């Protein structure tokens, strides 16, 4: 594995050394490995069943939209897409809004129990959701919210609050306090400072929060499976597991469904890559 | 949840050293007002279920109607073979953690050398992490099927005798699921480690290079020691993942099967609650899982504190 030191640490000359070639080869192999399932999903989604049976590996010579259209017309896929959008947007908005309020208090105000509250809230990040679902399920049945979108919106909001509070509190603490102090002297209210001064400065943190939580909610399975059991209330990802069961012998159709479920997050990732990375890395603290 | 009620004024203001140095010392309700919505949600989604699972895990269903108080649910689990198996399966999945850590380190170090196109590689390698687990799982069902690409490659390489029903063979199902978990989680480790490497002061690496350290020695003695806390973080996160966030893989790919060969703790909780209709057993299981996870977090805090005090010396 040892190479000439000309490539070590980067920045120095990029000579075609054996080490350099080896690194490229490893990275290409890793990228192929990472992308192959995605590639398989895409080529299969645009094949007819016959084309698929002839060759699983080659891209289709004549791509067909048949499966995508059929997936969209069968199995309530459009309803599921709409449900996923409603659930993701609502829970991310609510979680971010209430976390902003809490994080601002935790970052800028001095009160009894503050540190204990912050530690307690942050440590909830490690709680496995499966631990919570039985009592919550019974509760939702009791209050008649089972099979309705608000049930999962409430649960997702709760589940994403710990990470949101953590990210936002750290960010608010790092903002320079002088501006806020000046605003206070000028007679701005506490909420006015948060709304007019802190939030406009916090776009990166808010976006990170939104992106990380949207990814989680959109892709989540267990909660959606338990609380949304009627066909018309399902989210896309949970519906997909049902779809898979129904049409498992029709690979192109199932892969079309999978592709439809993947595209929104893939686009979000390509557009907001740095927020994904920042959010996931920020969790590591320090 | 915490002592948010009845602020006791002066004592508290003195106790917590605020980084912001507030001037006003009088007790104000404002902070609690700001916290209220979060408290409501956390109370509903976390605190209430915590209390409920503990309570119902000690309620033993009886044939005559009213449940009685007792430890029969836990006693039942002690004699339950599937429960023991599910714990064993979770522990087996932990083998993925060292594999992922080493692989993630290797690839992040290569990317850190800033070989041509490293940013593109980083984007590609991270992609699996944004895919939904059911999507990944469904795709791998096909890739791992008897006529899927894995077996086709083996056959065309003349190793057809190695071709397997990867998810249908009780001996292979766990390693197969593990490989899918590694597939999806590896990119997270790579990006995490790489981000930390980027913040290592350049002088450190320059100095090592001037001293004539080669690639291996430089990273072994300079880069990796700098990564200690982030590696520790990744290991903890992945241990948690293996113990309590792999439900979706199992549910999509095998449904716990064949037989009970891939049942894990989480799946068994869900199965007891919603397939076997025994929420009391599910609650007892949930309490045990929660205790195990909390124990690990506590242990990790202790370890971290100790290693920090060593660092300070």
Q: Across all residues in chain A, what is the average pLDDT?
A: 87
Over residues B180-189, the mean pLDDT reads 93
Residue A273: its pLDDT value, please? 83
**Is B292 a domain residue?**
no
ipTM: 0.88
The distance of Cα B178 from the centroid of its chain, to the nearest Å, equals 13
Least confident of A22-26, B21-25, B57-61, B128-132: B21-25
Q: What is the CATH number of the domain that holds B185?
A: 1.10.3720.10
Over residues A227-253, the mean pLDDT reads 87
**Is B74 a domain residue?**
no
Top mean pLDDT of A84-93, A270-279, B185-194, B301-310 is at A84-93
DSSP annotation string for chain A: ----TTSTTSSS-----HHHHHHHHHHHHHHHHHHHHHHHHHHHHTS-HHHHHH-SSSPPSS--SHHHHHHHHSTTHHHHHHHHHHHHHHHHHHHHHHHHHHHHHHHH---TTHHHHHHHHHHGGG--GGGTHHHHHHHHHHTT-TTSHHHHHHHHHHHHHHHHHHHHHHHHHHS-HHHHHHHHHTT--HHHHIIIIIHHHTHHHHHHHHHHHHHHHHH--HHHHHH--SGGG--HHHHHHHHHHHTTT-HHHHHHHHHHHHHHHHHHHHHSHHHHHHHHHHTT--
Kindly indicate the confidence band of residue A284, based on its pLDDT and cuts at 50, 70 and 90: low
**Is B33 a domain residue?**
no
Q: Please compute Rg for chain A using Cα positions.
A: 24
**Is B12 a domain residue?**
no
The token pair that represents B36 in the structure block? 């209220």
Domain count, chain B: 1
What residues does B69 pair with on adjacent strands?
A: B59
Over residues B254-275, the mean pLDDT reads 92
For B:260-279, CB contacts with A below 8 A are 266, 269-270, 273-274, 279
**Is B219 a domain residue?**
yes
Kindly indicate the confidence band of residue B310, based on its pLDDT and cuts at 50, 70 and 90: low
Closest Cα partner for B47 from B38, B34, B58?
B38
Chain A nearest C-alpha distance from B262 (Å): 17
Chain A nearest C-alpha distance from B72 (Å): 19
**Is the Cβ of A116 closer than 8 Å to some Cβ of chain B?**
yes
Residue A1: its pLDDT value, please? 41
**Is the Cβ of B187 closer than 8 Å to some Cβ of chain A?**
yes
Structural domains of chain A, ranges and CATH numbers in brackets: 18-69 (no CATH), 76-282 (1.10.3720.10)
DSSP assignment, residue B59? E
For A246-281, what is each residue's pLDDT tens digit?
Answer: 787 788 889 999 999 999 889 988 888 888 777 777
For B49-85, what is each residue's pLDDT tens digit?
Answer: 999 999 999 988 777 777 888 888 899 999 999 999 9
Residue A283: its pLDDT value, please? 63
Residue A50: its pLDDT value, please? 81
What are the chain B neighbours of A118 within 8 Å (beta carbons)? none
For A:96-115, CB contacts with B below 8 A are 97-99, 101-102, 104-115
**Is B194 a domain residue?**
yes
Query: The domain containing residue B201 runs over which residues?
Result: 87-286
Residue B172 clears pLDDT 90, i.e. is over it: yes
For B:132-171, CB contacts with A below 8 A are 132-136, 138-143, 147-149, 152
Q: Which residues contact A165 (CB under 8 A, 6 or more apart)?
A: A99, A102, A103, A106, A118, A121, A122, B38
């Amino acid at each position: 594995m040892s190479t000439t030191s000309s490539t070590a640490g980067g920045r120095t000359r990029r000579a075609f050394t054996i080490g350099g070639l080896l690194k490229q080869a490893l990275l290409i192999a890793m990228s192929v490995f990472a992308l192959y399932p995605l590639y398989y999903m895409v080529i299969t989604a645009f094949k007819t069943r016959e084309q698929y049976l002839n060759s699983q590996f080659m891209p289709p010579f004549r791509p067909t939209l048949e499966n995508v259209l059929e997936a969209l017309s069968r199995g309530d896929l459009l309803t599921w897409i709409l449900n996923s959008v409603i659930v993701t947007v609502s829970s991310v908005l609510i979680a971010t809004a209430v976390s902003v309020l809490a994080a601002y208090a935790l970052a800028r105000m001095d009160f009894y129990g503050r540190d204990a509250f912050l530690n307690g809230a942050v440590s909830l990040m490690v709680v496995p959701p499966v631990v919570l679902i039985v009592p919550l399920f019974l509760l939702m049945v009791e209050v008649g919210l089972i099979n309705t979108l608000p049930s999962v919106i409430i649960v997702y909001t709760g589940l994403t609050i710990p990470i949101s509070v953590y990210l936002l509190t750290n960010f608010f603490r790092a903002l320079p306090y002088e501006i806020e102090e000046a605003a206070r002297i000028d007679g701005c209210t506490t909420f006015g400072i948060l709304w007019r001064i802190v939030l406009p400065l916090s776009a990166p943190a808010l976006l990170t929060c939104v992106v990380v939580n949207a990814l989680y909610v959109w892709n989540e399975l267990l909660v959606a499976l338990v609380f949304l059991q009627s066909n018309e209330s399902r989210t896309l990802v949970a519906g997909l597991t049902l779809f898979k069961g129904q049409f498992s012998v029709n690979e192109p159709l199932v892969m079309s469904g999978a592709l439809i479920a993947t595209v929104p997050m893939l686009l979000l990732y390509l557009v907001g890559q740095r927020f994904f990375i920042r959010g996931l890395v920020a969790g590591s603290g320090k | 949840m915490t002592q948010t009620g009845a602020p006791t004024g002066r004592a508290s203001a003195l106790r917590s050293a605020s980084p912001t140095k507030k001037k006003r010392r009088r007790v104000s309700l404002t902070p609690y007002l700001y916290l209220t919505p979060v408290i409501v949600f956390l109370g509903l989604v976390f605190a209430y279920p915590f209390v409920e699972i503990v309570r119902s895990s000690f309620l033993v269903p009886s044939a005559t109607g009213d449940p009685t108080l007792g430890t029969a649910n836990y006693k039942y689990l002690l004699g339950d073979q599937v429960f023991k198996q599910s714990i064993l399966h979770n522990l087996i999945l932990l083998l993925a953690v060292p594999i992922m850590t080493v692989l993630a380190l290797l690839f992040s170090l290569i990317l850190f050398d800033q070989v041509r196109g490293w940013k593109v590689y980083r984007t590609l390698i991270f992609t699996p992490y944004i895919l939904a687990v059911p999507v990944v799982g469904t795709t791998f069902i096909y890739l791992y099927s008897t006529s899927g690409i894995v077996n086709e490659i083996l056959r065309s390489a003349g190793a057809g005798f190695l071709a397997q029903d990867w998810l249908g063979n009780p001996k292979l199902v766990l390693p197969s699921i593990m490989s899918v978990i590694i597939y999806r989680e590896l990119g997270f480790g790579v990006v995490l480690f790489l981000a930390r490497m980027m913040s290592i002061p350049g002088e450190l690496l320059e100095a090592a290079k001037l001293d004539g350290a080669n690639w291996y020695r430089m990273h072994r003695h300079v880069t990796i020691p700098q990564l200690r806390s982030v590696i520790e973080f990744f290991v903890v996160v992945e241990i948690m993942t293996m113990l309590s966030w792999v439900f979706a893989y199992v549910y999509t790919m095998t449904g716990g099967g064949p037989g009970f060969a891939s049942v894990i703790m989480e799946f068994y909780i869900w199965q007891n609650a919603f397939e076997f209709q025994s929420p009391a057993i599910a609650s007892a299981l949930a309490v045990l899982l929660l205790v195990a996870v909390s124990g690990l977090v506590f242990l990790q805090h202790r370890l971290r504190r100790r290693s920090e005090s060593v660092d300070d010396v």
